[in-house]
Amino acid sequence: MDVDVEKWAHADKSKEQVPWEFPFEVFEENLAQAPEDKRRTEITITRLHDDVADLFKQTSFEKRLAAEIESRLQTAIVSGLAITLNQLPVDRKPLELLDQVQLLPAYRQCVYGTGRERVTVKLYCGLGPSVPPELAGWHVFCNGRLVLKGDKTRDTGWDTVVVQEGGEKIPGFHPQFHRFRGYAYFDCDDAGCLPWNTTKTALNTDSPVYRAVALEMKSLMRPVIDFLNRLKEEKQGQQDPGEKGPLEILVESAVPKPVGDVATRSAFDMPKVRIPKKPKGPVMQRIQYDKPLEQVSRAKLALGVRSFKEVGEKTFEYWYDSECPE
């Protein structure tokens, strides 16, 4: 077939056929089977736009394009589709999850609609390697094509994750979640039922299927987020920063494996490890007040201490010992 893009782009789409479907100019059935090495789909583009032609000459563009193909079509590549760009194969870098019996990811399958409009959704949610940070978050695929990579926004439920920091609640993604991995695969014969935009490059969060699946994603996330918060608490609680707690040892002993190769369970569950109890001290309360500098400096001298913090502590202890006997 021969498509004049210029003409196609300016055609009145309301009157013409569906704009993204192109009929064959020659169509013959029951032909003799061609030898395998002769079977292919070849698309030749002529009359490139000048800006695009310039872009194609740049090495950096070729690298970016290879990375884009590798990322967006990774499901197809992992399934065995070989893609070469200017004679060089596009790499296969499967997405991974930690494979450890106590840290296995959650897996859930949901089905919506029937017939050609039946959308099958497969969700994986668990832990991955701590680097690279851009892989943390949710990855959403539609018919094998990546439409959202490492998302950490409210589109994938991160607004419901709240972290307590210094007594304040801060919603959203935090560095302690670098090991979080979520993969959502949407598949349907009718591409129009999938949650992507018309150019199939971005997620459509208003799609009815996505709205329902987002609830599942949030529910699968919560135990993983709780675990990663516990992991952070464990690290902060170590007396010696070099020392590793049981959760950290467990995570570090886990080996990453490609998504399809890891065993799964219905929900991520907190590993059953013995966590030594932190000796609990009394609940502390900070006191703040202002006093004239001259008076505070004299008190510091009289107390023989080096800092204003100690002035506060010593004067409180002095008053407490005399007024609040045990």
d(CA 192, CA 189) in angstroms, rounded, equals 9
The two three-digit tokens of residue 231, written as one number: 């992991």
> 97 and 82 in contact (C-beta within 8 Å)?
no
Most distant CA pair in the chain, distance: 105
Q: Which one, of 160, 296, 297, lies nearest residue 218 by Cα?
A: 160
Contact 161, 109 (CB under 8 A): no
The one-letter amino acid at 200:
K
Cβ nearer to another protein, comparing 63 with 211: 211
Which among 58-66, 79-87, 131-139, 219-227 is the span making contact with another protein, rule CB under 8 A?
Answer: 219-227
Nearest to another protein of 4, 159 (CB atom): 159
- Measured in whole angstroms, the distance separating CA 231 from the mean position of its chain's CA atoms is 18
The residue among 210, 283, 276 whose CA lies nearest residue 243 is 276
Between 112 and 308, whose beta carbon lies closer to another protein? 112
Q: Is 113 helix (H, G, I), strand (E, B) or coil?
A: coil
Near another protein by CB under 8 A: residue from 65, 78, 94, 113: 113
Q: Which is nearer to another protein, 101 or 215 (CB)?
A: 215
Scanning 53-61, 90-98, 196-204, 267-275 for contacts with another protein by CB under 8 A, the matching segment is 267-275
Give the range of 31-39, 205-213, 299-307, 318-326 binding another protein by CB under 8 A: 205-213
Q: Which stretch binds another protein (CB under 8 A): 4-12, 37-45, 111-119, 128-136?
A: 111-119
User: Is 172 one of the binding residues for another protein (CB under 8 A)?
Assistant: no
Q: Taking CB under 8 A as the rule, does residue 102 contact another protein? A: no
Strands (E), 222-285: 255-258
The answer to whether residue 283 forms part of the interface with another protein (CB under 8 A) is yes
User: Which of 66, 73, 104, 119 lies at the binding interface for another protein (CB under 8 A)?
Assistant: 119
**Look-up: residue for tokens 């019996």?**
101
Which residues of the shown chain bind another protein in the complex (CB under 8 A)?
112-113, 119, 160, 162, 169, 171, 208-209, 211-212, 214-216, 218-220, 222-223, 226, 266-270, 283
